[in-house]
């Protein structure tokens, strides 16, 4: 009985495992820049004890949490501090999302509205008066520039230019491109297709892809996120049934679908989770097993600084990407200190968060300036916007770097057998 009590007495998110050591506080990027935030320990396991007694103890200041999970990575006792905080927001927050939050959160709706009008929308979003309205009326900070919307969506390009050739390959994968590759930066998706085809894999899209929902969760729209998540899971099940693993290029989409679906939204993803992987991890594992080979251009040279995006760090997958990048022969590779860039998806776009967002990123920006790289490598698209805006250094997804450095013909030959 005693043993039973001890071994089975583990609560949701390990909240009773907290030793009150305060290590999480040391690594919280928000705590570091604002005294108004109660910090991970107080907002997480400590506050949870009170909230369990009375929901009145819920504090709206919890919305300042970036959900970066750096506290969880630091905690020696595996307390899911970030999960506790996000779950409390979903359960107790009474604030309704504003129109602005709905807009920022619905990345795919915004994308499908904007893409056809990209030549008009892009310059408009850069105009001073428009930014003024967004700032004043909508609360979207005037310092931010919306990422460009592409005129041709990735999906449209793929169906026209790539899809017909994909069945000729012997092996296949399904690509979850995410909103960013689809609406803002189709080149990322094209790079993905280029590399996968070169190593002998045909690429397919999901029957139905919805935004992973990360921005919906952050903006208090958990119900909608859950509905979208269920659609993704259903499509993924079909792909997996055909024997196709589901690959991604964005760390945050990956993390959300693998971990947040289950922990925060209560979506049952246990049969799908292991088949969702980041493309860099997938390739690194195949190379390690000797199943594929990459050949690189001899003339490719670049000084590359790798930034560990928060959710890469949380997934524990950074070494897959860095080991893959380090295979490129003549690059100069530098690891940046692992720290948050401050944007955290839609967080940094909000007028009330702008200053905090930049203050959080300051350490990283300084580090990048000292290292003086040709480009920063990271798997997170919102990190890309933030770092490019704040340092002027171009940011590339590791798969785009691989695509750029790849000797396609040679790689094809190596993988033909």
Residue 46 touches which member of another protein, ligand SF4, none, C-beta under 5-8 Å by kind: another protein
Residue 175, beta-bridge partner list:
205, 247
Binding flag, residue 9, another protein (CB under 8 A):
no
One of 163, 359, 408, 414 touching another protein (CB under 8 A): 359
Write the burial class of residue 2 (CB in 10 Å: 0-12 exposed, 13-18 middle, 19+ buried): exposed
Contact 335, 365 (CB under 8 A): no
One of 66, 179, 233, 364 touching ligand SF4 (CB under 6 A): 66
Binding flag, residue 370, another protein (CB under 8 A):
no
Contact 344, 382 (CB under 8 A): yes
> Rounded to an integer, what distance in angstroms lies between the CA atom of residue 406 and that of residue 174?
21
- Least CB distance to ligand SF4 at residue 179 (A): 22
Residue 93 touches which member of another protein, ligand SF4, none, C-beta under 5-8 Å by kind: none
Contact 355, 376 (CB under 8 A): no
One of 140, 236, 318, 377 touching another protein (CB under 8 A): 318
One of 98, 135, 323, 412 touching another protein (CB under 8 A): 323
Binding flag, residue 22, ligand SF4 (CB under 6 A):
yes
- Least CB distance to ligand SF4 at residue 25 (A): 7
Q: Residues 35 to 64: which contact ligand SF4 by CB under 6 A? A: 40-41, 43-45
Binding flag, residue 350, ligand SF4 (CB under 6 A):
no
> x/- contact string, 30-49, with another protein (CB under 8 A)?
-xxx-xxxxx-xx---x---
Transcribe 199-246 into DSSP letters: TTEEEEE-SS----SHHHHHTT-HHHHHHHHHHHHHHHHHHHHTTPPE
Binding flag, residue 164, another protein (CB under 8 A):
no
Residue 6 touches which member of ligand SF4, another protein, none, C-beta under 5-8 Å by kind: another protein
Residue 316 touches which member of another protein, ligand SF4, none, C-beta under 5-8 Å by kind: another protein
Binding flag, residue 288, another protein (CB under 8 A):
yes
One of 10, 11, 12, 22 touching another protein (CB under 8 A): 22
Binding flag, residue 212, another protein (CB under 8 A):
no
Residues in the chain: 417
One of 33, 48, 81, 318 touching ligand SF4 (CB under 6 A): 81
Contact 75, 200 (CB under 8 A): no
Tell me the window of 69-77, 122-130, 226-234, 236-244 that interacts with another protein (CB under 8 A). 69-77
The DSSP 8-state label assigned to residue 13 in this structure reads G
Smallest CA-to-CA distance from 80 within 9, 5, 18 is with 18
Binding flag, residue 51, another protein (CB under 8 A):
no
Residue 65 touches which member of another protein, ligand SF4, none, C-beta under 5-8 Å by kind: ligand SF4
Smallest CA-to-CA distance from 403 within 185, 176, 192 is with 192
> Rounded to an integer, what distance in angstroms lies between the CA atom of residue 36 and that of residue 51?
19
> Rounded to an integer, what distance in angstroms lies between the CA atom of residue 113 and that of residue 109?
6
Q: How far apart are the first and last CA of the chain?
A: 60
> Rounded to an integer, what distance in angstroms lies between the CA atom of residue 417 and that of residue 410?
13
- Least CB distance to ligand SF4 at residue 1 (A): 27
> Rounded to an integer, what distance in angstroms lies between the CA atom of residue 1 and that of residue 84?
29
Smallest CA-to-CA distance from 85 within 11, 13, 10 is with 13
Nearest CB to another protein, comparing residues 15 and 180? 15
Nearest CB to another protein, comparing residues 130 and 359? 359
E strands within 149-199?
Answer: 171-176
> Rounded to an integer, what distance in angstroms lies between the CA atom of residue 330 and that of residue 309?
24
- Least CB distance to another protein at residue 31 (A): 6
Smallest CA-to-CA distance from 320 within 373, 377, 263 is with 377
By CB under 8 A, name the binding residues for another protein: 2-3, 6-7, 19, 21-23, 25-27, 31-33, 35-39, 41-42, 46, 72-78, 274, 284-285, 288, 313-319, 322-323, 335, 337-338, 359, 362
């Amino acid at each position: 009985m005693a043993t039973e009590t001890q071994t089975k007495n583990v609560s949701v998110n390990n909240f009773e495992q907290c030793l009150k050591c305060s290590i999480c506080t040391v690594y919280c990027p928000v705590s570091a820049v604002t005294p108004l935030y109660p910090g991970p320990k107080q907002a997480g396991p400590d506050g949870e004890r009170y909230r369990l007694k009375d929901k009145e103890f819920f504090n709206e200041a919890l919305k300042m949490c970036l959900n970066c999970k750096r506290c969880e990575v630091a905690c020696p006792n595996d307390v899911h501090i970030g999960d506790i905080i996000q779950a409390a927001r979903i359960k107790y927050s009474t604030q309704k999302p504003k129109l602005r939050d709905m807009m920022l959160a619905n990345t795919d709706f915004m994308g499908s509205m904007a893409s056809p009008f990209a030549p008009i929308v892009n310059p408009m979003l850069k105009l001073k008066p428009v930014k003024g309205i967004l700032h004043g009326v909508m609360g979207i900070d005037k310092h931010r520039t919306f990422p460009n919307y592409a005129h041709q969506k990735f999906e449209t390009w793929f169906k026209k230019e790539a899809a017909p050739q994909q069945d000729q390959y012997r092996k296949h994968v399904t690509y979850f491109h995410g909103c960013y590759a689809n609406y803002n930066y189709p080149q990322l998706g094209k790079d993905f297709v280029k590399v996968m085809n070169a190593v002998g894999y045909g690429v397919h899209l999901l029957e139905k892809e919805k935004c992973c929902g990360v921005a919906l969760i952050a903006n208090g729209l958990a119900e909608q996120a859950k509905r979208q998540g269920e659609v993704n899971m259903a499509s993924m099940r079909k792909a997996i049934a055909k024997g196709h693993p589901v690959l991604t290029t964005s760390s945050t989409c990956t993390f959300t679908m693998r971990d947040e679906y289950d922990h925060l939204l209560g979506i049952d993803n246990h049969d799908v989770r292991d088949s969702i992987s980041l493309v860099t991890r997938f390739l690194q594992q195949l190379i390690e097993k000797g199943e594929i080979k990459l050949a690189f251009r001899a003339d490719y040279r670049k000084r590359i600084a790798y930034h560990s995006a928060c959710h890469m760090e949380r997934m524990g997958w950074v070494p897959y990407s860095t080991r893959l990048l380090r295979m490129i022969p003549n690059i100069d590779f530098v690891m940046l200190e692992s720290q948050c860039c401050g944007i955290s998806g839609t967080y940094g776009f909000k007028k009330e968060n702008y200053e905090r967002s930049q203050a959080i990123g300051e350490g990283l920006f300084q580090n990048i300036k000292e290292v003086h790289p040709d480009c920063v490598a990271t798997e997170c698209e919102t990190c890309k916007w933030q770092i490019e805006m704040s340092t002027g250094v171009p940011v590339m997804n590791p798969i785009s770097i691989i695509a750029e450095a790849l000797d396609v013909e040679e790689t094809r030959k190596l993988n033909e057998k």
